[in-house]
Amino acid sequence: MSHLSIILPAKNEAPALTTLLPRLRDAQPAAEIIVVDDGSTDDTLAICASHDVQCLSSPYSMGNGAAIKRGARASGGDILVFMDGDGQHDPADIVRLLEKLEQGYDMVVGARGWGSQAGVGRGLANTLYNWLATRMTGHEVADLTSGFRVVRANKFREFLHLLPNGFSYPTTSTMAFFRSAYPVAYVPIKAAQRIGKSHIKPLRDGLRFLLIIFKIATLYSPLKLFVPTSVVFFLLGCTNYAWTFVHDGRLTNGSTLLWSAAVIVFLIGLVSEQITALTYRRDI
């Protein structure tokens, strides 16, 4: 029988942990529960001790992804469950994700519907991520950024060196599994409203969300991003040349620069593709 480890990254989530930890114990009494305290200044450590839950504390905040990596290294289970520590995820859903995992998958993600999104802006951003990831991988991606997921520990630990310390670890891990041909499935869930204040700041994290879009492409197949971009530059150069030839009868520097950009972008894509291949290479 598989041993289960439940990993909860938490930063000042004491109110949520007070109710979440007993529910986890009731739902999965045999599971190892690890709370990774990401530099909290509240009573997180005391609450974990009162519920006999292991707590890994950091002297300062290192980020959500860093907490996930630390918990994965410390866990002893061969199946890992990642949940947010803010009370949004229902411990009763763990069974549903595990059942799906046993059907031959290596990662099962709890997919939030539109009603579970934290605001319209976040919902639209996640919809864009899901659409782009689906186009890149050729597989339906129902929720790229969900923090509620069940994975096989030996597979997940292969990619710990790739995971960022910030909030985009779900994106990175999902694309890494697809790239390595590890099957991924999605199970619909309903996320509750978080307890406490969100640590995501729209203005501060706006650039981060934009960078996630590029990370989706570069983690899976850079050429799928760079080739269309190269084609756009090439066609713009041809259009500019046609216009200037008809009106001025000559080739301008603008067309030459656009064609040069097309070649450079394409070559960058080729190099990125090789780097990506080396990143996922395993010596067997």
CATH number assigned to the domain comprising residue 84: 3.90.550.10
One domain for residues 72 and 140:
yes
SS3 for the chain is CCCEEEEEEECCCHHHHHHHHHHHHHHCCCCEEEEEECCCCCCHHHHHHHCCCEEEECCCCCCHHHHHHHHHHHCCCCEEEECCCCCCCCCCHHHHHHHHHCCCCCEEEEEECHHHCCCHHHHHHHHHHHHHHHHHHCCCCCCCCCCCEEEEHHHHHHHCCCCCCCCCHHHHHHHHHHHCCCCEEEEEECCCCCCCCCCCCHHHHHHHHHHHHHHHHHHHCCHHHHHHHHHHHHHHHHHHHHHHHHHHCCCCHHHHHHHHHHHHHHHHHHHHHHHHHHHCCCCC
- Look at residue 192 and tell me if it is in a domain: yes
One domain for residues 201 and 229:
no
One domain for residues 20 and 102:
yes
One domain for residues 97 and 50:
yes
One domain for residues 17 and 104:
yes
- Look at residue 198 and tell me if it is in a domain: yes
Domain count across the chain: 2
One domain for residues 231 and 185:
no
User: How confident is the model at residue 272, as a pLDDT?
Assistant: 85
One domain for residues 150 and 204:
yes
User: How confident is the model at residue 168, as a pLDDT?
Assistant: 77
User: How confident is the model at residue 284, as a pLDDT?
Assistant: 46
One domain for residues 186 and 271:
no
User: How confident is the model at residue 69, as a pLDDT?
Assistant: 95
One domain for residues 228 and 193:
no
- Look at residue 182 and tell me if it is in a domain: yes
User: How confident is the model at residue 50, as a pLDDT?
Assistant: 93
Last residue of a domain, one of 220, 243, 258: 220
- Look at residue 200 and tell me if it is in a domain: yes
- Look at residue 64 and tell me if it is in a domain: yes
Q: Which domain holds residue 257?
A: 223-279
One domain for residues 14 and 137:
yes
One domain for residues 192 and 270:
no
- Look at residue 284 and tell me if it is in a domain: no
pLDDT 10s digit of each residue in the chain, 284 long? 569 999 999 999 999 999 999 999 999 999 999 999 999 999 999 999 999 999 999 889 898 999 999 999 999 999 999 999 888 899 999 999 999 999 999 999 999 876 655 556 667 777 888 888 888 888 889 998 899 999 999 999 999 988 888 777 888 899 889 988 899 999 999 887 656 555 555 445 556 666 776 777 777 778 888 899 999 999 999 999 999 988 888 888 999 999 999 999 999 989 888 887 776 666 54
Last residue of a domain, one of 173, 190, 220: 220
One domain for residues 129 and 257:
no
- Look at residue 142 and tell me if it is in a domain: yes
170-192: per-residue pLDDT in tens?
Answer: 888 998 899 888 999 999 998 87
